[in-house]
Amino acid sequence: MADQSVRMVTAIVLHSVFFLSGASASADCYKTRHLFITAPKEMEALTGSCLQIPCNFRLKQGEKLNSKTTPFGVWIKNSPYFGKNGSVVIFNSSGTVSTYPMSFTGDLSQKNCTTLFSSLNTTYTDTYYFRVENRPFLATAECDGLQITVKDSPPKPRIEISGDVKEKESVSISCSASTPCPHSPPQLTWNLQPDSHHTMEENTDRTFTTRIQKSITLSHEHDGFIISCSARYPVNEGKDVKTSEERKTLSVSYAPKNTSVSISPSCWVSAGSRVILTCSSRAKPPVSRFTWFKTSRDAPIKVSEGDFYSFNVTDGGVYYCVATNQLGDQTSSEIHLTIGDAPKNTSVSISPSGRVSAGSRVNLTCSSRAKPPVSRFTWFKTSRDAPIKVSEGDFYSFNVTDGGVYYCVATNQLGDQTSSEVHLTIEGDQLVGAQVIVTVLGIILLVTTLVIFACWLKSRRCTKPQEDAEEDIYVNMVAIRRKRKL
Ligand SMILES: *[C@@H]1O[C@H](CO)[C@@H](O)[C@H](O)[C@H]1NC(C)=O
Ligand SMILES: *[C@@H]1O[C@H](CO)[C@@H](O)[C@H](O)[C@H]1NC(C)=O
Ligand SMILES: *[C@@H]1O[C@H](CO)[C@@H](O)[C@H](O)[C@H]1NC(C)=O
Ligand SMILES: *[C@@H]1O[C@H](CO)[C@@H](O)[C@H](O)[C@H]1NC(C)=O
Ligand SMILES: *[C@@H]1O[C@H](CO)[C@@H](O)[C@H](O)[C@H]1NC(C)=O
Ligand SMILES: *[C@@H]1O[C@H](CO)[C@@H](O)[C@H](O)[C@H]1NC(C)=O
Ligand SMILES: *[C@@H]1O[C@H](CO)[C@@H](O)[C@H](O)[C@H]1NC(C)=O
Ligand SMILES: *[C@@H]1O[C@H](CO)[C@@H](O)[C@H](O)[C@H]1NC(C)=O
Ligand SMILES: *[C@@H]1O[C@H](CO)[C@@H](O)[C@H](O)[C@H]1NC(C)=O
């Protein structure tokens, strides 16, 4: 029972080791292992550039290098079992094979197999195996395949922000780019200050990273700022460059800003009416609490909570709000609420008073009582259709051309009032009117007289009917004579 579970554990361990190795070699390479290397399992490189492979090796316990001869290092691609399954020796430090542009920069006798792989192109993408030949020791690190991927475009740099991303905090921002070829590292530039510190550092796996770094003290204005960093990799012996870019948006938390109160309908209110005070603020994270205060002789009195405060006004007062989030609070400026009145006793005075002659100047003055004072006076003249707006301002002066009916409207923040109408009458019009009446009266008088006279003649003619025609002519003649006399 116990034996079985031990075997199972062994199987699981073997299985996971096999997975970690990432190599295509079968599990039995572990049984016959003589050579081990310490190198990254996967590496990425750029076409036209180089790749430095950090590498060290060790032999199976009990094995030794022959110090009398120079060890040769060999790189084999595709499969560790060279000569089979498509494996190809692509480099032999003896000088017999250099199909690919490689060289050992490390000292093999010191078990340093560090290799420089230069003038890379995408066809070099493959799995590579290291072999040592130092007769009688001959071994391939068959379980330690190195996957090399050569790409035409460089990897993106990485932007990192360390620390608490809040206003007033100092954070370190860095942009780093992998540096497979430390001999021609990428040039990093970004949109933070250009005097950033440029460094190349070795990672724990002895690969390299190029980095620029900057410490900044954050303010709320940095929120939403987009950091963009670009890496320019020299390729083809520095004749060209390949560029990649990364962007990152700064998200900075800050206490409330621009806290302000707005009032509806206005700072002037009529007693008993409803007002709405609204508090607005910018904060990240958003404002979690709005508190309303009314000032008093002693301490301010808390009157409400919430982003708006609506109430019926009984008296004036000074109000403000406080916006709060996790990072702090901010007090708005004060708002003064004053009880006022809409315009009252709006009236028009006219100068000169009474009748005016056509073409003369007339002054109309509008007066009104209001709190706050009237902000606008508007003059209207009535017409058959709608009233016509004729002027603005408390004083309206114009040359009269015809009569008419005028009034003014006084307006302040709390309302408006219309005055009573004033009638403007022209003297000349009255004179013409009298002449017409006199003429009409004269004609009526004449006609009446003629009719009475005619009736008197008719009553006489009843006794002498045969003289009718003569009489009619006579009457007409008399009528004409009378008219002339008039
Ligand atoms: C060669 O490849 C074949 C299948 O492609 C496989 O069965 C065989 O085990 C491989 N041989 C070695 C030595 O890896
Ligand atoms: C590497 O070169 C040496 C010397 O020429 C040779 O003996 C050896 O077989 C070569 N190894 C491979 C794997 O080709
Ligand atoms: C191996 O050789 C490389 C290239 O000469 C060198 O930079 C590195 O420090 C050496 N590594 C060790 C562990 O000695
Ligand atoms: C890539 O390298 C191979 C082998 O060295 C060579 O045949 C090929 O022309 C190269 N390709 C390019 C695009 O340089
Ligand atoms: C917010 O307040 C700042 C000063 O604190 C001011 O410069 C800015 O114009 C204000 N923004 C708005 C939208 O009112
Ligand atoms: C507040 O005033 C409005 C009208 O402006 C009125 O309808 C309402 O009843 C009033 N509320 C109180 C509590 O007085
Ligand atoms: C103003 O008008 C009110 C009525 O709206 C009236 O009682 C008051 O006497 C008027 N005051 C003046 C000075 O005309
Ligand atoms: C009308 O006003 C003007 C200017 O204010 C003044 O000169 C003129 O005497 C006034 N006319 C009358 C009839 O009041
Ligand atoms: C208005 O009338 C006055 C005299 O009453 C005259 O001096 C002035 O020229 C007139 N203005 C216009 C524009 O008719």
- CA 325 – CA 319 distance, rounded (Å): 21
Q: What burial class does residue 134 get, using C-beta atoms within 10 Å of its C-beta: 0-12 exposed, 13-18 middle, 19+ buried? A: buried
CATH T-level topology, domain 25-151: Immunoglobulin-like (2.60.40)
Q: Provide φ and ψ at 478, rounded to 5°.
A: -60, -45
CATH T-level topology, domain 158-249: Immunoglobulin-like (2.60.40)
Band the pLDDT of 468: cuts 50, 70, 90: very low
Place of tokens 């900075």: 252
Say if CB 38 and CB 111 are below 8 A apart: no
Which residue's alpha carbon is nearest to atom 8 within ligand 8?
363
Return the percentage of the chain with pLDDT > 90, whole number. 62
Position 464 pLDDT exceeds 50: no
Ligand 4 atom with the shortest distance to the CA of 123: 1
Which residue's alpha carbon is nearest to atom 5 within ligand 9?
360
112 lines ligand 3 (CB under 6 A): yes
Ligand 6 atom with the shortest distance to the CA of 312: 1
Q: pLDDT by residue (tens digit) across 39-84?
A: 999 999 999 999 999 999 999 888 888 888 899 999 999 888 877 6
- Ligand 2 pocket: which of 35, 74, 129 to mutate (most atoms within 8 A of CB): 74
If one counts every other C-beta atom within 10 angstroms of the C-beta of residue 40, the result is 16
220-224, 294-298, 461-465: least confidently modelled range: 461-465
Q: State the distance from the centre of ligand 2 to the C-alpha of 28, rounded, in angstroms.
A: 25
Over residues 136-142, the mean pLDDT reads 88
114 lines ligand 3 (CB under 6 A): yes
Tokens of 208: 């390299």
More confident residue, 465 or 438: 438
User: What ligand is nearest to the CA atom of residue 310?
Assistant: 6
- Ligand 9 pocket: which of 361, 398, 401 to mutate (most atoms within 8 A of CB): 361
- CA 204 – CA 147 distance, rounded (Å): 19
Tokens of 106: 């490390």
Average pLDDT taken over every residue of the chain: 85
What's the pLDDT score for residue 444?
Answer: 77
Ligand 5 atom with the shortest distance to the CA of 282: 1
More confident residue, 3 or 211: 211
Q: State the distance from the centre of ligand 8 to the C-alpha of 399, rounded, in angstroms.
A: 11
Over residues 276-281, the mean pLDDT reads 96
Position 328 pLDDT exceeds 60: yes
85 lines ligand 1 (CB under 6 A): yes
- Ligand 6 pocket: which of 275, 311, 312 to mutate (most atoms within 8 A of CB): 312
Position 165 pLDDT exceeds 60: yes
399 lines ligand 9 (CB under 6 A): yes
273 lines ligand 6 (CB under 6 A): yes
What's the pLDDT score for residue 447?
Answer: 77
258 lines ligand 5 (CB under 6 A): yes
Position 291 pLDDT exceeds 80: yes
Over residues 218-246, the mean pLDDT reads 95
- Ligand 9 pocket: which of 351, 399, 400 to mutate (most atoms within 8 A of CB): 399
Q: pLDDT by residue (tens digit) across 219-228?
A: 999 999 999 9
Say if CB 24 and CB 79 are below 8 A apart: yes
Band the pLDDT of 472: cuts 50, 70, 90: very low
Question: Any long-range contacts for 451-459 (C-beta under 8 Å, 24+ apart)?
Answer: 453/478, 453/479, 453/482
Quick one: CATH architecture of 342-428? Sandwich (2.60)
Tokens of 422: 């004033």
Across 221-236, b (16+ Cβ under 10 Å) vs e yields ebbeeebbbbbbbbbe
DSSP class of 124:
G
Position 154 pLDDT exceeds 70: yes
More confident residue, 305 or 457: 305
Same fold, 158-249 and 342-428: yes
Band the pLDDT of 302: cuts 50, 70, 90: very high
Q: Provide φ and ψ at 2, rounded to 5°.
A: -65, -40
Q: State the distance from the centre of ligand 6 to the C-alpha of 329, rounded, in angstroms.
A: 32
What's the pLDDT score for residue 438?
Answer: 64
What's the pLDDT score for residue 417?
Answer: 96
What's the pLDDT score for residue 402?
Answer: 84
Q: pLDDT by residue (tens digit) across 102-111?
A: 999 999 999 9
Cross-strand pairs, 364: 350, 396
Ligand 3 atom with the shortest distance to the CA of 106: 2
- Which run of H or of E encompasses 440? helix 427-461
What's the pLDDT score for residue 28?
Answer: 59
132-136, 253-257, 281-285: least confidently modelled range: 132-136
Say if CB 140 and CB 226 are below 8 A apart: no
- Ligand 4 pocket: which of 102, 121, 235 to mutate (most atoms within 8 A of CB): 121
Which residue's alpha carbon is nearest to atom 1 within ligand 9?
399
Q: State the distance from the centre of ligand 4 to the C-alpha of 441, rounded, in angstroms.
A: 126
Cross-strand pairs, 89: 76
User: What ligand is nearest to the CA atom of residue 48?
Assistant: 4
The domain locations on the chain are 25-151, 158-249, 262-339, 342-428
- CA 60 – CA 304 distance, rounded (Å): 80
List the CATH code of the domain at 262-339: 2.60.40.10
Position 3 pLDDT exceeds 60: no
CA-wise closest residue to 127 among 88, 79, 85, 180: 79
Say if CB 276 and CB 294 are below 8 A apart: no
What's the pLDDT score for residue 387?
Answer: 94
Position 423 pLDDT exceeds 50: yes
Band the pLDDT of 363: cuts 50, 70, 90: very high
Q: pLDDT by residue (tens digit) across 432-441?
A: 555 656 676 7
State in Å, rounded, how far the first CA of the chain is from the last one. Answer: 156
Q: pLDDT by residue (tens digit) across 370-412?
A: 999 999 999 999 999 999 999 999 999 999 888 899 999 999 9
Across 240-265, b (16+ Cβ under 10 Å) vs e yields ebbebebebebebbbbbeebbbebee
